[in-house]
Structure 1
Amino acid sequence: MLYQVYQLQDDFAATWRLWARSMLGLLNTGLTGTKRFFADEYFAALEMISRFQLTHTRPDFAIAKVPSGNSEAEVTEQVALDLPFGKLLHFAKDIETPQPKVLVIAPLSGHFPTLLRGTVETLLRDHDVYITDWTNARDVPVSAGKFGVEDYVEYIIRFLEAIGPGAHILAVCQPCVQGLVATAVMSQQNHPCTPRSMTLMAGPIDPRESPTDVNEFAVSKSLGWFQTSVISTVPIRHAGGGRRVYPGFLQLVAFMAMNMDRHRNAHKKLFEHLAKGEVKEAEKIKTFYDEYFAVLDLTEEFYIETIDRIFQKAELATGDFMYRGTRVDPGAIRRTALLTVEGGRDDICALGQTAAAHELCSSLRPHLKRHHLQANVGHYGVFNGRRWENEIYPVVRNHILAME
């Protein structure tokens, strides 16, 4: 019923959004001179109402050009591999000089991979970039089967096979676990497409280290509670009708609740900018929330297994992680260089949780290991923003280049 209630509320709100957009169009273009009879706050309020919605389709990455040497290179998005629960997206550049191939492993946690647009855009300066483009579970027919944590690992391996030997991986947040598992599995198999390097950024390799509110919540409830309280069935109107999912709108609510004052103040500023006609300032806030309010659903099995295996049991950290019936041994990683990155003010993945990968990768020689602690950045600052571009990215670039 949870999803049905949300859908009913959204259908009701759609009427008000349509009315607000119609009024804006009418007053701005249809009635000459009418605008002067209304306060600027009225137009700002109409636009705020028109924006009151979540979207469930991936926004465009909209990366048309990137700096390349002394010029710019055109970027074209290409689907390199299309699988039911996700695509391998390639940002092909119009250049002749080969560059290191990097697979960005995006989180599957309620948002689309476009949340990493800034990460990708920066990497494109010096790399041939691919990204995991996860599909909204509500759009995947039940006939496509299930998609759990081990399926995620399998997708990473298949994506690396499609890219070919010599690639590097960069995992952000939650999939640091799956990225490390995939590399260990491929190392155990002496797979020719085992990545040359892996960069793990702000991920819960060992969530028992300095647990945050997110970690404590995950272990405070039983799996049964999560299944009955947050799992819902996709309405029949969608392609994935009948599939059991963890709805993206619930994850968004959870994220916003952690910093509600910040989001409230941001929308207050947006209203003020709109009322004052400060278009540039308003656009920055609108762009962020257009992305932030684009949500996707997770399959029930992926969400529950993530809570169970990654957070509650910490199977990777304890040495109990199994992949297709075989125990995963990070100690088998001998030639893939490791870089871990953490933010000093990360309230989602705290200090030590990602660095735990170094102890697990016990066979790596010291010169193949590096840890970077970025002071004064929160979770998103690790992979987006000024400090990512100016201080963290150079470390990542050099790490990758050293293995070329």
Structure 2
Amino acid sequence: MLYQTYQFKDDLVAPFRLMARGMQALAGATLWGPAADLGRQMAAAMEMIARFEITHVRPDFAIAPVRVGNRDVAVTEEVALDLPFGRLLHFAKDVDTPQPKILVAAPLSGHFATLLRGTVQTLLRDHDVYITDWTNARDVPLSAGSFGVDDYVDYLIRFIEKIGPGSHVLAVCQPCVQALAAVAVMSEDRHPATPRSMTLMAGPIDPRESPTEVNEFAVAKSLAWFKNSVISQVPWRHRGAGRKVYPGFLQLTAFMAMNMERHRTAHEKLYKHLAAGETAEAEKIKTFYDEYFAVLDLTEEFYIETIDRIFQKAELATGDFTYRGQKVDPGAIRNTALLTVEGGRDDICALGQTSAAHELCRSLRPHLKRHHLQANVGHYGVFNGKRWEREIYPVVRNLILAME
């Protein structure tokens, strides 16, 4: 009944949001004369109410033209491969010289792949970029079957095959485990499309290292508790009706609870900017929260297997990780260069959890391994923002160039 209760409450609030939008427009019409300040304050208050909403629709990537050489080049989204639980999305550019092909493995953790918009925008300067564009599980019919951790690995391998030989992989957060597993499987099979490099950014390769609040919560409860407490059925109005999922709104609530004071302060600033008519400053905050409040649901099997295999048992770190019943051996990786990136202030994936990949990839020669610690960033700053763009990205770019 969890999902149904959420849907019922959202339906109750919807008319108030609609009314607030109407009153916002009315108040905005009074932005002149002595009533201008009062009109802006009223419009700001109504906009805050209207924005009190979680959406379940993927926002647009809206990638801006990128500078390649001495000209600005438009970016076009193309679906390279369309599968039930996710698409391989290609950001095509009309450039004269071929650029290194890179697959960005986006997290499947409650938000859409558009959370990595800034990552993609930066990578596009020097690379031919693809991304895993995951589908909201509540929109996938039951007839499409299940989707678990092994299926994620399957999708990565199929996407890499589609991109072709000579590609590179960059995984952000949670899918670092599946990316490492996929490259290990392809390496062991001597697959011709095995990536030339693999960048793992802030991912739980070994969540036992310096456990964070997120890690401790994952191991503090039994699998039965997770199944009984956070798994719910999709309501009948959606395409995935009847599918058991971990609702994205629960993940959003958990993330916000970790930094509630920060979010409260941000919304206070948003109101003040709106009331003062400071449109540009307000737009920055709104853009972030438009993305942050867009959530997707995870299949029950993927969520429970992630808790069980990746966090509670740490199967990759202990050497017990399997793919389709066969042990996965990162030691099979011999020719794919490895870069790990960690943030010194990361409160989701702490220091040591991602760099643990170096010990697992024991067959890689030293010159094919590199670790980068960005001491002054948190989790989000590892793959987005000024530090990513100015200090982390050059390290990623240089590794890829070295393997070309």
Query: What TM-score does the superposition give when structure 1 sets the normalisation length?
Result: 0.98
- Answer with 266-275 or 17-26: which moved more: 17-26
Who is 2:302 aligned against?
302
Superposition deviation, residue 70 in structure 1: 1.6
CA–CA distance in structure 2, aligned partners of residues 86 and 33 of structure 1: 53
1:327 paired with 2:327, answer: yes
Q: Is 1:28–1:35's contact at 8 Å kept on the other side of the alignment?
A: no
Alignment partners' CA distance in 2, 1:167 and 1:268: 45
Cα shift at 1:31: 11
State the match for 2:399 in structure 1: 399
**1:25 CA drift (Å):** 2.5
Q: Map of 1:9-48 to 2, 5 A cutoff?
A: 9-29=9-29, 36=36, 38-48=38-48
Q: Is the 8 A contact 2:153 2:179 kept in 1?
A: yes
Q: 1:145 to 1:271 in 2, by over 3 A?
A: same
Alpha-carbon distance in 2 for matches of 1:245, 1:385: 31
The answer as to whether partners of 2:24 and 2:42 remain within 8 angstroms in 1 is: no
Report sequence identity in percent: 78
Task: Tell me, in whole angstroms, the C-alpha distance in 2 between the residues paired with 1:183 and 1:92.
Answer: 25
C-alpha offsets along residues 68-100 of structure 1, whole Å, 9 cap, x if unaligned?
112111100000000000000000001121000
**Range moving further from structure 2, 252-261 or 62-71:** 62-71
Q: Which residue matches 1:83? A: 83
In structure 2, the partner of 1:317 is: 317
The 2-side partners of 1:37 and 1:266 are apart by 21
Provide closer, same or farther for how the CA distance between residues 46 and 333 of structure 1 changes in structure 2, counting only shifts above 3 A: same
Hey, what's the Cα distance between the residues in 1 that align with 2:391 and 2:29? 47
Q: Note the 1:116-155 alignment, pairs <5 A.
A: 116-155=116-155
Unaligned 5+ runs, structure 2:
none
Contact preservation (8 Å) 1:64, 1:76: no
CA contact under 8 A between 1:358 and 1:369: conserved in structure 2?
yes
CA-CA distance at 1:12 after TM superposition: 1.1
After TM superposition, give the deviation of residue 38 of structure 1 in Å. 4.4
Matching residue of 1:285: 285
Q: Could you tell me whether the CA contact under 8 Å between 2:104 and 2:131 is conserved in 1?
A: yes
Letter in 1 for 2:20: A
Q: Note the 1:5-404 alignment, pairs <5 A.
A: 5-29=5-29, 36=36, 38-404=38-404
Q: Does the residue aligned with 2:239 lie in a helix, a strand or coil?
A: coil
Q: Secondary structure at the match of 2:23?
A: helix
* Structure 2 residue matching 1:338: 3-state secondary structure: strand
Amino acid at match of 1:103: L
Q: Once the 2 structures are TM-superposed, how far is the Cα of residue 26 of structure 1 from its aligned partner?
A: 3.5
Unaligned 5+ residue runs, structure 1?
none
Q: How many pairs are equivalent? A: 404
| Cα-to-partner distance string for 1:342-374 (whole Å, 9 max, x where unaligned) | 001111000000000000000000000000011
Amino acid at match of 1:87: R
- Calculate the aligned-residue CA RMSD, in Å: 1.4
Q: Secondary structure at the match of 2:15?
A: helix
Measured in 1, the distance between the counterparts of 2:133 and 2:37 equals 48
Tell me the distance in 2 between the aligned counterparts of 1:156 and 1:334.
19
Structure 2: distance between partners of 1:321 and 1:402? 30
Cα separation, partners in 2 of 1:170 and 1:37, compared to 1, 3 Å = closer
- Residue 18 of structure 1 aligns to a residue whose secondary structure is helix
Deviation string, structure 1 residues 148-178 (Cα, Å, up to 9, x no partner): 0000000000000110111000000000000
Q: State the distance in 1 between where 2:294 and 2:353 align.
A: 28
Q: 2:246, 2:54 → 1: CA distance?
A: 16
Q: CA separation in 2, counterparts of 1:325 and 1:34? A: 73
Alignment partners' CA distance in 1, 2:36 and 2:98: 58
> Given residue 20 of structure 1, which amino acid in structure 2 is its aligned partner?
A
Question: How much has 1:64 moved relative to structure 2?
Answer: 3.3
Alpha-carbon shift at residue 29 of structure 1 (Å): 5.0
